[in-house]
Structure 1
Amino acid sequence: MAPLSGPTTGKRALRHLLLLCLLLPCLSQPLPAPSPSPAAAPTFPLSPFNDRLDAAYVALQAWKHAIIEDPKNLTGNWCGPYVCNYTGVFCTAAPDDPHILTVAGVDLNHGRIVGYLPDHIGLLADVALLHLNSNRFHGTLPGSMQHMRLLFELDVSNNLLSGAFPSFLTSLPSLKYLDLRFNNFDGQLPDDVFGRQLSLDALFANNNRFNVTLSSRTLTNSTASVIVLANTELKGCLPPSIGDMADTLVELVLLNTSISSCIPPEIGKLKKLQVLDLSHNELAGELPESIGDMESLEVLNVGYNQLSGVVPESICLLPKLRNLTVTGNYFCGEPVSCLHVPLRDDRMNCIPEWPHQRTHEECIAFEHRPPVHCGADGCILHHPL
């Protein structure tokens, strides 16, 4: 029989010694029961020791040292090499090797944690879900996250993150859900965010300091079902090619973006759209009759713009419409059929004998303005007086 010695045996002994040293600070604490995995549990036992979990241990320990406050003590048991037992850390079999256990997700939502994301976080290469909303992480997203090639959902909303849009995000091949809202990111939101190469299904970038330029090559090139850009600075106009998103778009929220534009009739092609919020902008012209073709529409909010004319009856006859908001415009007529919409707000318009309308003087002054003309690109054409 060959002697039990040699390079392999020596490495194995050294590894066991290293793991024993890592455990020493935690020996006084009972080991918790294994945490449940978000995926189906493997049908065979998997070793809690392998190179991927070793890398995850390094990443999570570096992250714990980057945390200044943890009021809910979510990372209190982040101790020792058994990372699958850490609160908020979820493990499952690796997608490329069912015989290896790996970290598949981290969820620290609503922890109110103060700290930053260290470069070592990129060692969590198999993470598919990273949920960190409602904390107080500052700094920016480290570039090492480009190694998270399996990242499917990234939610860092409601934090204190800042800096330019992390460009590496557009190169993550698996990313489908991106939520950056309620942070302090600034600068230009790159066209690639809307590109078909990234192919996001949901984009929440609202309540940052982003600049977004609308064109047929950006927004309308998206495959997303949900796009929320509220309270950001939009440049450009709503292009006629907005109808090109008909196969995917379900929710579009552009409220309070300072966009000055007409609403192109091609918007009526969005037959899957359920929510359209264009309120608190500088939209002008008439409400397109074609919106009456949007058979899935449940919420339409165009309040607080400079729209005029008559509210098309086809809109009020939409079978699923539950909320119609046209308040704060200059509409001069509204069909009686609109009264049957369950939630309706048509105040502050110029509808004769309708309650809660603008003053007669305001409406007369608006009628004496030059008429609005819309260009082929959806932009308002301004003619000299």
Structure 2
Amino acid sequence: MVLANGASSNVSNDAVSALLLIKADIIDPMDHLGDWKLPGNGVKNHLVHCNWTGVWCNSNGAVEKLDLSYMNLSGRITDDIQQLHGLTVLNLCCNGFSSSLPKSIYSLTFLMSFDVSQNNFIGAFPVGLGMARGLKIVNASSNNFSGLLPEDLANATLLEILDLRGGFFEGSVPLAYKNLQNLKFLGLSGNNLSGHIPSELGQLKSLESIILGYNAFEGEIPAEFGYLTNLQYLDLAVGSLSGRIPAELGRLKQLNTIFLYKNNFEGDIPREIGNCSS
């Protein structure tokens, strides 16, 4: 028992140190993190940090959830975040962070939900997040990320939401995304993506929403989209798509919304679209 208590205390002390280092590089004009401080005697009491704003712990004092959303924060997130090994939820949504994300994010292998949306993060999206095999949500929309789409996320096969809309990603959609068989939401619109829309996306039978518009995709809509029997929302508007609208879309009985405007389609609108009874 002494060993267990000692180990628990070490976990807590490490978490306190990491959180204070993280706070040191955050600009907090509203003082939302004002309670992130040690007691007056400077002693790191066991679990003291578990009552800090935005911090949730397990019984050992390890931080499992860090939610700093909607706090008008800016500055940068440092590599000290890798010391929070047990994080399952990281939410930095809706702030003013404008640095790059630390590469050490990859070490948070217990993450289940990762939300850095509606900030001004720059640079490449960090490689390695796909090693968090329990990951279900990745939302990095409305930022200034650039470079290629993170292909390694295809290793996080439990992923249900992948939202990378509204950035400066370029290149093509990784074919490896076909491995995301639990994916329900795929949002890649409003980037600088190009090339053909992979027909392999038609293998993602759990998909309910595909939002790929406002890119530079070319070629035809994959006929394989007709296999997405759970699809409800399809947005391919504003691009350079061409050819005919595939009649196979008529198989999608759950489809209730489809946007195809401002492309280069030709031919007739297929009568099979009338079979989309939703």
From 45, 61, 69, the equivalent of 2:28 is 69
Amino acid at match of 2:135: L
Please state how far the C-alpha of 1:83 moved relative to its aligned partner: 0.5
Structure 1's unaligned 5+ residue stretches are 1-7, 16-46, 94-99, 321-385
Q: Deviations over 1:296-351 (max 9, x none)?
A: 1121111111223332333234222xxxxxxxxxxxxxxxxxxxxxxxxxxxxxxx
Q: Given the alignment, which residue of 239, 248, 253 partners 1:281? A: 239
The answer to whether residue 15 in structure 2 is matched with residue 56 in structure 1 is yes
Kept after mapping to 1: 8 A contact 2:186/2:211: yes
Match of 2:115 in 1: 155
Distance, in Å, in 1 between the alignment partners of 2:52 and 2:144 is 30
Letter in 1 for 2:232: Q
Matches within 5 A, 1:254-269: 254-269=212-227
Structure 1 runs of 4+ aligned residues shifted over 4 Å read none
Q: Does 1:230 align with 2:189?
A: yes
Q: Aligned equivalents of 2:184 and 2:74: distance in 1?
A: 33
- State whether residues 262 and 285 of structure 1, in contact with CA within 8 Å, keep that contact through their aligned partners in structure 2: yes
- The alignment of Structure 1 onto Structure 2 pairs a total of residues equal to 265
Q: Distance in 1 between matches of 2:171 and 2:210?
A: 15
Deviation of the 1:67 alpha carbon: 1.5
1:298 to 241, 244, 256: 256
Aligned equivalents of 1:70 and 1:92: distance in 2?
29
Give CA deviations for 1:194-234 in whole Å, capped at 9, x if unaligned. x2x2222211111111113136x334343322111111122
**Residues 151-193 of structure 1, C-alpha deviations (whole Å, 9 max, x = no match):** 1111011112111120121222222211111111111124323
Instruction: Assess if the C-alpha contact under 8 Å between 1:212 and 1:232 holds in 2.
Output: no
Q: TM-score, normalised by structure 2?
A: 0.88
2:57 matches 1:87: no
Instruction: Tell me whether 181-190 or 290-299 shows the greater mean CA deviation.
Output: 181-190
More divergent stretch after superposition (268-277 vs 164-173): 164-173
- The AA in structure 2 aligned to 1:129 is V
Q: Which of residues 102, 105, 120 is equivalent to 1:142? A: 102
RMSD over aligned Cα, in angstroms? 2.1
Aligned to 2:41: none
| Fraction of identical pairs, as percent | 29
Which of 120, 133, 142 is the aligned partner of 2:93?
133
Q: Does 1:104 align with 2:42?
A: no
Which amino acid counterpart does residue 141 of structure 1 have in structure 2?
L
Q: Which amino acid aligns with 2:102?
A: P
* Letter aligned with residue 303 of structure 1: Y
The code of the aligned residue for 1:181 comes to S
| SS at structure 1 position matched to 2:171 | strand
Relative to structure 1, the CA distance from residue 87 to residue 214 in structure 2 (aligned partners, 3 Å threshold; closer, same or farther) is closer
AA of the residue aligned to 1:57: V
Counterpart of 2:145? 185
Aligned match of 1:198: 156
Contact 1:70/1:111 (<8 A) preserved: no
Cα distance between partner residues in 2 of 1:112 and 1:185? 20
| The 10-residue stretch of structure 1 (165-174 or 285-294) with the greater mean CA deviation from structure 2 | 165-174
Q: Which moved more, 1:274-283 or 1:222-231?
A: 222-231
> Are 1:74 and 1:88, in contact at CA under 8 Å, matched by a contact in 2?
no
Asked if the contact 1:175/1:198 (under 8 Å) is kept, the reply is yes
1:116 Cα deviation after fit: 0.8
Match of 1:220 in 2: 178
Q: Which runs of 5+ in 2 are unaligned?
A: 39-43
* Structure 1 length-normalised TM: 0.65
Corresponding residue SS for 1:50: helix
Counterpart among 236, 240, 247 of residue 199 in structure 2: 240
